[in-house]
Every structure is written in structure tokens, then in C-alpha cells.
Amino acid sequence: QKEVEQDPGPLSVPEGAIVSLNCTYSNSAFQYFMWYRQYSRKGPELLMYTYSSGNKEDGRFTAQVDKSSKYISLFIRDSQPSDSATYLCAMSASGGSNYKLTFGKGTLLTVNP
């Protein structure tokens, strides 16, 4: 079993839809949970991060972490064509091991106008 599992999709939705992206993980030492967004022919950029369990909201984006289930989610409300990208979840332990990010494979999202 890989440390981080992410459905690669692709996922295609109409503009305005609510999008749910998910990852599961097996390493209970993970404390930081991140979502990176990668546009075509670009490097990944950090979209949101959460420390330990809970929810975090930023505009149309909400990140959720359920450590008891080892499950994280990213919700996108009122999705826009500009949200079309690959979304990568990433996780790390805290302290001295925080340098090592473990990435999911990424989910390719297309939002159709």
C-alpha cells in the first residue's frame, strides 16, 4: 500500500459545480496536509494547508482533514474554468522530518464553461 493514495481521475464537471477531491494515507506521523495546484506546463503551487485535524476555508476552497480515518478532502465551490488543473495532495510529519513531502499522484480536473 502506498503511503498516499489519490484517485487520478480525470474529473470533468460543468462550471458552477461543487468539486470534491480526496486522498487517503497510511502514515499516522503525518501532521501537515497540503493541496497543491498544478496548471499545465507549470510547477505545483501551494493552494492550502492544514495542520492536524479540522477544516480550513479560503474563499471558494475548503480543506478538511480527518486523522481518525486518515482521509483528507478539498472542496471547490462554484467551480470556474480557471480551476482546471491537476490537484496534488501532499503530507509531511512535523519537526525535523517536515522537509519530506509525500505527494499523491494528482487528480486532473477540467471545469467546462
In the complex, what is the shortest distance from the CB of residue 81 to another protein, in angstroms, rounded to a whole number? 22
C-alpha to C-alpha distance for 39 and 111, rounded to whole angstroms: 13
C-alpha to C-alpha distance for 17 and 15, rounded to whole angstroms: 6
In the complex, what is the shortest distance from the CB of residue 35 to another protein, in angstroms, rounded to a whole number? 12
Site string for another protein, 21-50 (x = CB under 8 A): -----------x-x------xxxxxx--x-
Pick the piece of the chain touching another protein (CB under 8 A) from 14-22, 61-69, 70-78, 101-109.
Answer: 101-109
Strand order in the sheet with 61-66: 4-6, 19-25, 71-76, 61-66, 54-58
Assigned C-alpha cell, 16: 458552477
Based on the shown chain and the rule CB under 8 A, indicate whether residue 12 belongs to the binding site for another protein: no
